[in-house]
Structure 1
Amino acid sequence: MKKRYILILVFGFIFTFTLSMKAAFKEEKNVSLMMTDVSRLMPVKIDKIVKGKEIESFKQAINEAKASNKKIAIAGKQHSQGGHTYYKDAIVLDMTSYNEILEFDKKKKTITVQSGATWDDIQRFVNPHGLAVKVMQSQNIFTIGGSMSVNVHGRDIRHGSLIESINSFRLLKADGEIVNVSRTENAELFPLVIGGYGLFGVILDAEISLTDDELYVMKSESLDYKKYADYFKQKVKGNKKVKMHLARLSTAPDTFLKEMYVTNYELAGEQGARTEYDELSEEKLVPLMKFAFGLSRNYDWGKNAFWNAQKSYFVSDEDTYITRNNVMRSASKFLEYEDDKNTDILQEYFIPVDMFPDYVDSLRETLTEEELNLFNITIRYVEKNEDAVLSYSRDDMFAFVLLINQGLSEEEIYKTRSVIQKMIDVTLAYNGTYYLPYQPYPTKKQMETAYPKVNEFFELKSKYDKEEIFMNYFYEEYGGDE
């Protein structure tokens, strides 16, 4: 009797445990089918994720999508913030495990990598050879394919946007064909895929042009924002020793869009001295930086304190030596942020250099009348380059990179969208453009004004992908019918 009771308990436990595990597995499976990007503003249910290491797995996914009338979306690190890397009920190709370095030519200064490799992977490989990347984002955590898809730019003032340093790539098209793409081979695809947001096919691998890993002296100084355009043209762009540059504009209430400081990276003489500083840096003080950014995100006094601390830390008479590779390994972990009620988003506006002071005044006037939690602005420079069909640098431009905290509710999304549309109107009034990897807040009219070739872009999308196999929310918002 006792044995039978024990057996009943045991079998009951096993049965209950099995059911609970099935439920947990089912719940985990459902959770895994929900996808969003780093902004967390557009979560949707997808069909499945294909995380392949072989080209054949991507081909099979495309064939499956065709057979089942589904869509393909392509994802890297998913830091594009407007649904560019996924789509409802789509098969999502996660490229991050497709990340091998395929070829390296030290003499020609080129490297060929699979599209899921990151800039960090490349830096770790080429740094011992005294080489470095020409163009990438300020952080090195992103995939090569993702960076090509948004045609990134960074701190380098001599090499412009990424399209300039891509020699060639292989593309898996919607019909299953793999083609080589360069400025001379399948040339029409070259300016469509780079800055094409994954709408023309799967970038498989790319040959990238490298440069020397130089040693720089980093110098920072405070500057009157009204003098910045002339300062930049004469002391930065006009000084061949300055290779990289950035500026920061105050978002603190006490000095809002009035104070700024600049940082120049100037060639430091003999190249041999590089070996004293060539160890790749790793992120430090992440908890402290997260805390400081949190104060700036949540309190006006925190914004004031953080801005004053930044100036005190960076603006000094001391020379700091740093290699090119380490300039391009900026901290990123302290920017990671999750909260149940709000999130951080990016905006980026490009303004012709000579328009800088007037634009800042107009932007300040607009934002003073609005409620927007803007807590960081970085200024970069992008040289004119219209190679990409969706080029954002129709002139020599200053790029305003804005970090904004907004709520997750529909009401907060509406409020933020309204303010951003006003900022874009100001930007367009100064012959500026805006960057496309972010929330679909701009109107179609604003998109067409900022990007005159957008209709050509979407027409060629139809030419190369008639069935619209490759899909994302950027295309649905701006490429579809009214």
Structure 2
Amino acid sequence: MKKPILLFFLLIYGITWYVSFHRYQFQLAHPVVLDVAGLLPTKVKEIKHGETKEQLQQWVKQAHKHGEKISIAGMQHSQGGQTYYPGAIMIDMKQYNKILQYDPKAKRITVQSGATWADIQKKINPDGLALEVTQSQNIFTIGGSMSVNVHGRDIRYGSLIDTIESFRLLQADGSIIQVSRTEHPKLFSLVIGGYGLFGIILDVTLQLTENELYQNETVQMNYREYSNYFRQHVQSNPNVRMHIARISVAPNHFFTEMYATNYHLASNQNQIGEFQKLKNRDQIVALPKFFLDLARYSDGGKNIFWTVQKNLLLKQSGSYETRNNVMRAATDFMEYENPSRTEILQEYFVPVDEFAPYIDDIRKVLTKEELNVINITVRYVGKDQQSVMSYAKEDMFALVWLINQKKSADGMAQTEKVLRKLIKVTLKHRGSYYLPYYSYPSQQELENAYPRSKEFFQKKRLYDPDDVFMNFFYKEYGQ
């Protein structure tokens, strides 16, 4: 009797192994990809990791020949499917990350598009140089940042397009061209802020600036004072080089209290050597993560988080920091893993003089609707006429929202309902919204926020008539 039982168990084991192996092989052959928020899982044909120009060129030519689709990914922090598409070949650019040329005297650097801002900072900091425009975090790839045309804290520059000298573009037919303001200038305005729809950005030449020493100043105020304060004390002061603000979402000061941090050019730049070492921002994360977690799950926690955050920065007012270190904000404490919840970003742009009435209307919406807003950061973005898909039609304040929500269908539907209302309020105040997030706005709202969007999609079809480069954003609005 023992032998048949043994054979039976061996048979069951063999079948189980066979099924598991083939399921594993299927998953390898048909991977499911996610963005950082994890709300749009998508099965792609395969993921390729680009390392050489020749590889990338071959893959694009093959896709063009066989009618396949390509999507392009960096760190995948865009949250609306801009980096992938069902059944497409997703090209992961993170390994395409070499620094190709660096000229400290000319303040110029050329890097492959998969390099991160941290890679560049590490290279240029010893020479006393810094970036002109980037996000507050330096973890993103240059190609990804170009594709969404990021902006930062520096009030002298607008969006990233201001600092780009040129780049090479791998087009849908496999050809490679040099793009700048004088070579293929139309593509220059389309690709930067083009969400990977016109080709693969291969390498980029960036302008650099001096790594200045700043002394920070944090000021508390009511939201109604903010626009005038910014005009009189920030924008008109040449010594204020960078600026960031926050508005309270805590119940005790709901959309009324603010604080602003200005980075003044330090009077003695010879001191910069004492502060020049690049800081590891993520060494101590337990305490800020604790307070952030409190804010995620209770109104009382939001009050505590706001008070601690505000008082800490007020206490630090007068301290010194280099430009490169201002552009290295902490990220680890914001990492969030919860099986039933996730966090998304939204970003709305509103003209400087519309700020107070806009906040009044936003508050009216949020006192009636349920939306778990954790933090709102305010930055300034100057008018941008270069990018076809410019979000700054005039001088704008950018409000960056961090929102905690349920992953369930009901949770997603509730968030969408509220965000649609916020988008309507934003457009009412001559504003716009940032495109790297979920496709909640209607086609008409897109066209209202981005008056050249029809032209943008027409040019996409002109330069890529076979739609080799695809993503969810184009599927939703462009086809």
Confirm or deny a common fold (TM above 0.5).
yes
Contact 1:115 1:203 in 2 (8 A): yes
Deviation per residue, 1:78-98 (Å, 9 max, x gap)? 000000000001001100000
| Equivalent residues in 2 for 1:393-404, closer than 5 Å | 393-404=392-403
For 1:172 and 1:21, locate their aligned partners in 2 and report how far apart those are by CA, in whole Å: 39
Contact 1:417 1:442 in 2 (8 A): no
2:186 is paired with a residue of what secondary structure? coil
Who is 1:182 aligned against? 180
Who is 1:258 aligned against? 256
Equivalent AA in structure 1 for residue 48 of structure 2: V
Equivalent AA in structure 2 for residue 417 of structure 1: E
2:71 is paired with a residue of what secondary structure? strand
Deviation per residue, 1:58-111 (Å, 9 max, x gap)? 122223323433210000000000000000010011000000000011111010
2:460 is paired with a residue of what secondary structure? helix
1:296 is paired with a residue of what secondary structure? helix
Question: 1:284 Cα deviation (Å)?
Answer: 2.7
For 1:301 and 1:222, locate their aligned partners in 2 and report how far apart those are by CA, in whole Å: 21
1:337 is aligned to 2:336: yes
> Which consecutive residues of structure 2, in runs of 5 or more, have no partner in the other structure?
none
Who is 1:279 aligned against? 277
For 1:12 and 1:449, locate their aligned partners in 2 and report how far apart those are by CA, in whole Å: 64
Equivalent AA in structure 2 for residue 43 of structure 1: P
Who is 1:60 aligned against? 58
The change in CA–CA distance for 1:13 and 1:409 in structure 2 (over 3 A counts) is closer
Equivalent AA in structure 2 for residue 347 of structure 1: Q
Question: 1:471 Cα deviation (Å)?
Answer: 0.2
1:376 is aligned to 2:387: no
Deviation per residue, 1:117-168 (Å, 9 max, x gap)? 0000000000000000000011000000000000000111111100000000
For 1:127 and 1:223, locate their aligned partners in 2 and report how far apart those are by CA, in whole Å: 35
For 1:222 and 1:296, locate their aligned partners in 2 and report how far apart those are by CA, in whole Å: 21
Return the match for 1:110 from 108, 111, 114.
Answer: 108
Equivalent AA in structure 2 for residue 433 of structure 1: S
1:231 is paired with a residue of what secondary structure? helix
Contact 2:64 2:172 in 1 (8 A): no
Question: 1:26 Cα deviation (Å)?
Answer: 2.7
Who is 2:145 aligned against? 147
Return the match for 2:239 from 224, 227, 241.
Answer: 241
Who is 1:43 aligned against? 41
Contact 2:218 2:317 in 1 (8 A): no
Contact 2:61 2:172 in 1 (8 A): no
For 1:254 and 1:318, locate their aligned partners in 2 and report how far apart those are by CA, in whole Å: 24
Amino-acid identity (%): 51
Contact 1:224 1:259 in 2 (8 A): yes
Contact 1:218 1:264 in 2 (8 A): yes
Question: 1:441 Cα deviation (Å)?
Answer: 0.8
Return the match for 1:267 from 260, 265, 268.
Answer: 265
The change in CA–CA distance for 1:169 and 1:318 in structure 2 (over 3 A counts) is closer
- Worse-matched range after superposition: 357-366 or 208-217: 357-366
2:105 is paired with a residue of what secondary structure? coil
For 1:97 and 1:13, locate their aligned partners in 2 and report how far apart those are by CA, in whole Å: 42
2:157 is paired with a residue of what secondary structure? coil
What is the alpha-carbon root mean square deviation over aligned residues? Answer: 2.1
Who is 2:322 aligned against? 323
For 2:146 and 2:110, locate their aligned partners in 1 and report how far apart those are by CA, in whole Å: 14
Relative to the length of structure 1, the TM-score reads 0.95
Deviation per residue, 1:15-73 (Å, 9 max, x gap)? 6897487357437626x700010111110110011102111211222233234332100
Contact 1:151 1:195 in 2 (8 A): yes
For 2:370 and 2:317, locate their aligned partners in 1 and report how far apart those are by CA, in whole Å: 39
Who is 1:92 aligned against? 90
Who is 1:223 aligned against? 221
Contact 1:61 1:91 in 2 (8 A): no
Contact 2:166 2:181 in 1 (8 A): yes
Who is 1:439 aligned against? 438
Who is 2:461 aligned against? 462
Who is 2:447 aligned against? 448
For 2:164 and 2:154, locate their aligned partners in 1 and report how far apart those are by CA, in whole Å: 15
For 2:12 and 2:130, locate their aligned partners in 1 and report how far apart those are by CA, in whole Å: 60
- Worse-matched range after superposition: 146-155 or 53-62: 53-62
For 1:318 and 1:366, locate their aligned partners in 2 and report how far apart those are by CA, in whole Å: 34
Question: 1:316 Cα deviation (Å)?
Answer: 2.7
For 1:327 and 1:339, locate their aligned partners in 2 and report how far apart those are by CA, in whole Å: 30
Deviation per residue, 1:423-464 (Å, 9 max, x gap)? 011111111111100011111111010000000000000000
Contact 2:45 2:88 in 1 (8 A): yes
For 1:339 and 1:68, locate their aligned partners in 2 and report how far apart those are by CA, in whole Å: 41
| Equivalent residues in 2 for 1:113-132, closer than 5 Å | 113-132=111-130
Contact 1:135 1:154 in 2 (8 A): yes
The change in CA–CA distance for 1:21 and 1:369 in structure 2 (over 3 A counts) is closer
Equivalent AA in structure 2 for residue 166 of structure 1: I
